[in-house]
A and B are shown apart, each in its own frame.
Chain A
Amino acid sequence: MLTPIFEPHTHMVSRVTDDYERMAAAGIRVVLEPAFWLGQPRTNVGSFIDYFDTLIGWERYRAAQFGIHHVCTFALNPREANDQRVREEVLQLLPRYLEKGGVVGVGELGLDEMTPTEDRVFEAQVELARQHRLPLLVHTPHRNKKQGFLRCLDLLRAANFPLERVLLDHGNEETIELTMGTGVLQGFSIYPNTKMDPPRMVALLKKYGVERISINSACDWGISDPLSVPKTVTLMQAAGFSAEAIHQLVWRNPVDFFAQSGRCSETEWLTPTEKAPLSATGTTVVRGGGPDSEGCC
């Protein structure tokens, strides 16, 4: 029996439809797409507006064609937080986007180079999460990772933000020692080369269990694998993990965490998406839509 999978960190705008097809076949029911940078700096706020609109518009629609629910989080990412060309205007944009349907958190905020400006933008967005009653999806630095985790925890505690409403992402064998028992949901990105790989992840799960842990692919335009969560599940099965433990790791933990947003529910996520477009009343499926109706070109 295939467990449903909630994949809590994907950048689907950079993936092709084959990926959606394979993800759906592997049991992925929900993808969460946190707003992040696009590989190179944006030079004006308009690029953010169009990117945000794409996530709630076309990308959500595209995912639904493959039976996958697409939810997202919005934030000013830590890399571009350092860029004065966009910083203030993007922060001003967020209240409006954080109220959208299907927006289940503030993210990826976080730290990258750990500059004072990143701290300030981090704090401002923690405040936004409080105002809009949303959980946080926090990106941690690739370099100087342990210090980055400690700094994030300091900032969150100083802001008195409830840690059960924080997903601290991109962890590894070292950072879990810092986050165990803090109450945060500990995220691990299974990303070839730079982060974790499936065998390392399974070894870590053997040692620490699945409590307050969540795994994701963080798939994007880099060398990454949108199937790394189901592949890890296969390795877990081979290693003798129970179906319950696997279900908790890849469904229960992320579902409970993001349901804290109050914007979506497990029942909704277990209901198949309408593969053909909804009619205007949202109740009946009309004929003729879907990927083979008109196409884009």
Chain B
Amino acid sequence: MDWVQAFAIAAPDIAALRAEVAAVQNSAALDVRFPGLPRRVGRSCAPAGEVRLQHGSADRGRWRLCDVAALMLIEKCGGAAKAQALYDHGDRDERLMAARALLHLADAAMLRSFLSMLQTSNDQALFEAGFLDAAHPAALLDDAAWNRFLLKAAFIGLPLERIYGWEARANATLVQMLLDLKAERMAAGRDVWAGTERVVAAVR
């Protein structure tokens, strides 16, 4: 796959990405080069639009240049297992890069288990990178996992618009969970998740 083209990378940035790929020949070299990617290629985002990944489309405008570089490098040197290892031993920037690479490189079973680990993450940026702005959760998660994801998104107040496929995956159990959350929030005098009524309406 020509990722430079798929992510519509601007001409001045292409050379930096190609230089990174040329500089790394094996998995051990990648360990040392990987943390510096955001410093060297930058964190600016790709142009808005859709990109096709292994498990469905994604909003490429959420991918940063260093994420695209990471995908190219990990695809070249190691694949999904390497992405998982880089995630496990990375700081937030590295984890964001490795998580995005996994969205494409992992097979369905591996991606499901990665998402179930991310479901418990305390770092909202990582949770967003794994679950939002892409079609794979709706394609891969069973109802129980999907509902846990939606409930957490509601709990921390993420916008419904960034959840691909929410309408088709709405279900009665989820509606009950959201209504319970709504009741709990109202009893506490706190804000209710803005997406609640729309999910409820989708099931009616």
Contact = CB atoms under 8 A, between A and B. Distances in A.
Contacts of B43: 281-282
Interface stretch (A32-40, A49-57, A156-164, A205-213): A49-57
A288 B32 contact: no
A296 B43 CA distance: 29
A100 B91 contact: yes
A177 interface: no
B124 A288 contact: yes
B92 interface: yes
B136 to A, nearest CB: 15
A49 B88 CA distance: 10
Contacts, number: 81
Contacts of A281: 43, 45, 62, 64
Scoring A58, A102, A294, A296 by chain B CB atoms within 10 A of each residue's CB, the highest score goes to A294
A32 B121 CA distance: 25
Interface string A207-239: 000000000000000000000000000000000
Interface in B143-175: 152, 155-158
17 contacts: A49-B89, A57-B90, A57-B92, A96-B89, A99-B32, A101-B91, A101-B93, A278-B125, A279-B124, A279-B125, A279-B128, A280-B129, A281-B43, A281-B45, A286-B157, A288-B124, A294-B152
Nearest to B44: A281
Contacts of B90: 53, 56-57
Contacts of A276: 124
Interface string A266-292: 000000000011111110001111000
A6 interface: no
Nearest to B130: A280
B89 A277 contact: no
Interface residues of A, number: 29
Given A100-B94, A101-B91, A101-B93, A277 B123 contact: yes
Nearest to A60: B91
Scoring A61, A282, A296 by chain B CB atoms within 10 A of each residue's CB, the highest score goes to A282
A27 interface: no
Contacts of B89: 49, 52-53, 96
Contacts of A99: 32-36
B156 A294 contact: yes
Main secondary structure, interface of B, reads helix
Contacts of A278: 125
Contacts of A192: none
Interface of B: 31-36, 38-39, 43, 45, 62, 64, 88-96, 122-125, 128-129, 132, 152, 155-158
Contacts of B92: 57, 60-61
Contacts of A293: 124, 155-156
Contact of A286 (B88, B129, B158): B158
Given A99-B35, A286-B124, A294 B96 contact: no
Given A278-B125, A286-B158, A296-B122, A95 B94 contact: no
A152 B204 CA distance: 74
A49 B31 CA distance: 13
Given A61-B122, A289-B124, A101 B39 contact: yes
B38 A101 contact: yes
Contacts of B95: 57
Nearest to B129: A280
Given A96-B31, A100-B35, A281-B62, A288 B123 contact: no
A277 B91 contact: no
Given A99-B32, A282-B125, 13 more contacts: A53-B88, A58-B122, A99-B34, A101-B38, A277-B124, A278-B125, A279-B128, A280-B62, A280-B96, A282-B64, A286-B157, A288-B158, A294-B152
